[in-house]
Amino acid sequence: MNEVQLSKRLEKVVTYISPGSRIADIGSDHAYLPCYAVNNGLASYAIAGEVVKGPYESARQQVAKTALTAKIDVRFGDGLAVIDHTDKIDTIVIAGMGGALIRSILENGASKLLTAKELVLQPNVAAWQIRDWAEKNHWEIVSEAILREDNKIYEVLHLKRAAEQVSYNESEKLFGPCLLQEKNTVFREKWLHEKENWQKIGTAIRKSAVLSEANKKRLKELENNIQLAEEVLK
């Protein structure tokens, strides 16, 4: 992977960036995504944000190597702290992290979202965390994708600011309101595997000598998720 050829996962991410956007790529690593976005007209300006020194230096070197320093600003900082309101960022990209961490970044940087109109988020796990956050913060999930790469399954969510609060039911939060409409092969593979995993965990909990209150609660959650999965996989 490089600034010319992205991974399959990031290729899907950039399809949701509107041409000419001013983007902030949070956790940019080598800054391949912003370099690709600028070179292909998807971004007129980009911030590559990194909180780890090694990737930050790699991003700086990559942007300099591709002669894009006039259009891509590499910044060192935690989450959305790298964004200033004067940057007029309209699209924020966060890819390759857990859903809970992405949610935390969005919550901690709430004031930095004021100019943003679109979010492109790619959680490695727990995408439901983002859907739950979206519901509570007036963001609408307008498109989703699910894909397999290197034997791993990824979900990509495209959100736009909503005029009023959007409501998602339990199944939509867990499986994705858009993904539920298609239920493609990768979707079915993912949730069949998850259902089988939940069943194994439930069996192990029931075999424990003492069923604590925490385990009882966990067992109830597992049983509920299994039921939801069975319904969507019919």
Q: Which pLDDT score, from 0 to 100, does residue 62 have?
A: 96
Contact 105, 125 (CB under 8 A): no
Amino acid at 177: P
Contact 26, 105 (CB under 8 A): yes
Considering only CA atoms, which of 185, 55, 37 is closest in space to residue 120? Answer: 37
Where is 4: in which H helix or E strand?
Answer: none
Question: Cα dist. 28→32, 67, 77, 87 in Å?
Answer: 8, 17, 11, 17
Per-residue pLDDT of the chain (234 residues; tens, 9 = 90+): 666 689 999 999 999 999 999 999 999 999 999 999 999 999 999 999 999 999 999 999 999 999 999 999 999 999 999 999 999 999 999 999 999 999 999 999 999 999 999 999 999 999 999 999 999 999 999 999 999 999 999 999 999 999 888 999 999 999 999 999 999 999 999 999 999 999 999 999 998 877 889 999 999 999 999 999 999 999
Q: Which pLDDT score, from 0 to 100, does residue 211 have?
A: 83
Q: Which pLDDT score, from 0 to 100, does residue 1 have?
A: 62
Q: Up-side HSE of residue 56: CA atoms within 13 Å toward CB?
A: 11
How far apart (Å, rounded) are the C-alpha atoms in residues 143 and 150? 23
Q: Which pLDDT score, from 0 to 100, does residue 4 have?
A: 67
Q: Which pLDDT score, from 0 to 100, does residue 113 have?
A: 95
Q: Which CATH class is domain 8-169?
A: alpha beta
How far apart (Å, rounded) are the C-alpha atoms in residues 116 and 26? 14
Q: Which pLDDT score, from 0 to 100, does residue 98 have?
A: 97
The answer to whether the Cα torsion of 91, 56, 32, 175 is positive or negative is negative
Q: Count H helices, E strands: the chain? A: 9, 7
What global pTM score does this model have? Answer: 0.94
Q: Which pLDDT score, from 0 to 100, does residue 140 have?
A: 98
Q: Which pLDDT score, from 0 to 100, does residue 71 have?
A: 98
Q: For 185-192, which contacts have Cβ atoms below 8 Å and span 24 or more sequence positions? A: 186/146, 186/147, 186/148, 186/153, 187/146, 188/233, 189/148, 189/153, 190/146, 190/153, 191/229, 191/232, 191/233, 192/229, 192/233
